[in-house]
Structure 1
Amino acid sequence: MTTPATPRPPVNLDWSTLGFSYIRTDERYLSHWRGGQWDSGQLTLDNVLHISEGSTALHYGQQCFEGLKAYRAADGSVNLFRPDQNAARMQESCRRVLMPEVSTEQFIDACRQVVRANDHWIPPYGTGGALYLRPYVIGVGDNIGVRSAPEFLFGVFAIPVGAYFKGGLTPHNFITSGYDRAAPHGTGAAKVGGNYAASLLPGFEAKERHFADAIYLDPATHTKIEEVGAANFFAITKDGQTFVTPKSPSILPSITKYSLLHLAEHRLGLKVVEGDVYIDRLGEYSEAGACGTAAVITPIGGIQHGDRFHVFHSETQVGPVTRRLYDELTGIQFGDRPAPEGWLVKV
């Protein structure tokens, strides 16, 4: 059972300059797993976790997380975008690293509570910003052996965010990495922190060379594109008729990507393909992009691979299909365009 949050004064933020960085908001949600079940959870003002020094999350990476957004619509209401899909993906991640699953009902209820409690932190309609939610599950409790934790925490906190990459919907350039993001048959399809820790060095090296981030090739052969930094990859064929995205068991199943697959087929009338995207055949595509909850869509201007730099539509202008996909998706998220059934949950 949740109760409406008490109205609070407006937040003194310049919504137009929001980036993607931590901002402490008022309340967050915590639930404990003990004795074989999750408790009912509660909101707290404390943004510091108090956990055992032996927690498996600290030593063995037993943890996972999610990312989703709450959007202010023109009528003042608030939309959560496909939270049931985030709940399902977190359940898959929990199973992969042997943690208890959080039910879809508890997951969505926790997100709703956090959004209501931090309603005044939601960027106003028309600013392009949103309230980013970060649910997570971590293994805690006194432990030292390599085993599943005796206790767990499920939490959700929220921060107001703008564009993930500076400049918003503008093309960025990327460079392929010789590092692997995840191992074959490993944890690549789970949203666990170890995958992201592995990406820090290649991401840093890419930025040192003035690229937005690294592109990871398939770990088995290093011939096919898998992911773009912390986002999924897509491309549009030269004839503008087909939406293509990589398929691999080590790719994180992006909710944004699968939403775009649906919209490309059912709203734009494109053919959609999940398959191999070979790094030496980029000339087959006229547009490309990175997609995910944080970035939404980031157009890819060009990709550096070895000594070759391939430019797609433009290094400065957004391609027409990418623009249409972005407008359709964000229009749905903010409530300006009709949503497929079940995609929006009102807070």
Structure 2
Amino acid sequence: MSVPSIDWSTLGFNYIKTDYRYLSHWRDDAWDNGVLTEDNVLHISEGSTALHYGQQCFEGLKAYRCKDGSINLFRPDQNALRMQRSCDRLMMPRVSVEQFIEACTQVVKANEHFIPPYGSGGSLYLRPFVIGVGDNIGVRTAPEFIFGVFCIPVGAYFKGGMKPCDFIISDYDRAAPKGTGAAKVGGNYAASLLPGAEAKQAGFADCIYLDPLTHSCIEEVGSANFFAITEDKQLVTPRSASVLPGITRLSLMQLAKDRLGLTVVEGDVRVDELSRFTEAGACGTAAVITPIGGIQYGDNLHVFHSRETVGPVTQRLYNELTGIQSGDVEAPAGWIVNIPGSQQA
């Protein structure tokens, strides 16, 4: 394939058709070996459960070009395990960790020339998914399934550097108690479109959801996890059965404890006690960290460190994690799958 003509400096987060994607089918109680294909169109039955009953889940992870030309795939085993939990919740067959990582590796190698250069701030975003397919009309698990992985090159999330954003507390619920909040399923995101659009129309980056049972504690920030820093150097993040266990959140918790010497606390983050935090942020695959300048709750805008500059602990966490992802900082054991690149320095 010819090398794509891409202006890496203006690359955003938009769909770009790359050369190959991976597809595997589940039939007769087993996944097949899977293949790479150039076809980016899925051909499925009109009765597929993914279309009618939302029987599908997905993941998001990134591959990064390193200084020596090799490629770092960041914690794919954790994405594989989370996808297994989502599949369990929706009565879909699990994809093994080995097949998940092998599929991602094949897609990265086949589309290597789409990986943004080292130092550009960009990366190759991978989207694995499992969907229920096959002829069906009743409310039941599908007779067949597809596991796929495709990729797109994405640019640096922060053009010109990280800047704090303001968010607003939503009146909507993101998930129901004992619902699918902890699974990465499309229905959760479909339900977030209206609250997110209303928040943006009001001039905020996105909305913040409170716990669905008492509406007193912060759970998630749009489609990202929430964390905050206290004056006495604690990193606090919500603990709830409705919160999606993010890989970035998991990584920041470990780095905060092991490398920054912070005390990590998973617990209630009461919306009426925001004054105990000096910094706050949203974390996820896309941005790693989005610093939170202020949170609008009712008529009050609570400002943390600043609405203009990033807090020092937040900045250190960001630098540490992005350094690990790009290969410039030593990674904890097991965090990186390093793939040899054809563009070795």
Corresponding residue number in structure 1 for 2:131: 138
Q: Distance in 2 between matches of 1:162 and 1:278?
A: 35
- Output the amino acid matched with 2:338: K
TM-score norm. by structure 1 comes to 0.96
Pair 306,163 (structure 1): closer, same or farther in 2 beyond 3 Å: farther
Question: Is residue 251 of structure 1 aligned with residue 251 of structure 2?
Answer: no
CA–CA separation in structure 2 for the residues paired with 1:47 and 1:303: 40
Alignment partner of 1:186 is 2:179 = yes
Equivalent residue number for residue 4 of structure 1: none
Query: SS in structure 2 opposite 1:186?
Result: coil
Is the CA contact 2:181–2:243 (under 8 Å) kept in the aligned structure 1?
Answer: yes
Q: Distance in 2 between matches of 1:80 and 1:108?
A: 9
Is 2:312 the partner of 1:320?
Answer: yes
Contact 2:218 2:269 in 1 (8 A): yes
AA partner of residue 327 (structure 1): N
Deviation at 1:167, TM superposition (A): 5.4
What SS is found at the alignment partner of 1:332?
A: helix
Cα deviation for residue 9 of structure 1 reads 4.0
How far did residue 68 of structure 1 move? 0.3
| CA–CA distance in structure 1, aligned partners of residues 155 and 310 of structure 2 | 19
Q: Secondary structure of 2:337's partner?
A: strand
What residue ranges of structure 1 are gaps of 5+ in the alignment?
1-7
Choose the corresponding residue for 1:228, options 191, 204, 221: 221
1:43 corresponds, among 36, 44, 52, to: 36
- Whole-Å separation in 1 of the counterparts to 2:10 and 2:198: 26
Structure 1 residues 180 and 109: alpha-carbon distance in aligned structure 2, compared to 1, 3 A threshold = same
Q: How does 1:146-295 map to 2 (within 5 A)?
A: 146-164=139-157, 168-239=161-232, 241-295=233-287
Seq. identity, %: 74
Output the aligned Cα RMSD.
Answer: 1.0
Shift of the 21–291 alpha-carbon distance from structure 1 to 2, 3 Å rule, reads: same
Separation of aligned partners in 1, 2:116 and 2:72: 12
Equivalent residue for 1:103, pick from 96, 99, 112 = 96
C-alpha separation between the residues in 2 aligned to 1:149 and 1:167?
46
Q: CA deviation at 1:11?
A: 2.3
Which residues of 2 match residues 64-75 of structure 1 at below 5 A?
Answer: 64-75=57-68
CA displacement at 1:45 relative to structure 2: 0.5
In structure 2, do the counterparts of structure 1 residues 61 and 277 end up closer, same or farther at CA, with 3 Å as the change threshold?
same
1:305 aligns with 2:305: no
AA aligned to 1:119 is E
Range with bigger deviation, 255-264 or 161-170 = 161-170
Q: C-alpha distance in 2, partners of 1:172/1:19?
A: 18
Q: Distance in 2 between matches of 1:110 and 1:325?
A: 30
Q: How many residues align?
A: 339
- What's the offset of the Cα at 1:165? 6.2
SS class of match (2:275): helix
Which residue type is aligned with residue 318 of structure 1? V
**In structure 2, what is the Cα distance between the partners aligned to 1:165 and 1:50?**
36
Equivalent in 323, 332, 340 of residue 340 of structure 1: 332
Residue 282 of structure 1 and its aligned partner are, at CA, apart by 0.7
**Which 10-residue stretch deviates more, 230-239 or 9-18?**
9-18
Determine the C-alpha separation between the residues in 2 that align with 1:295 and 1:337: 18
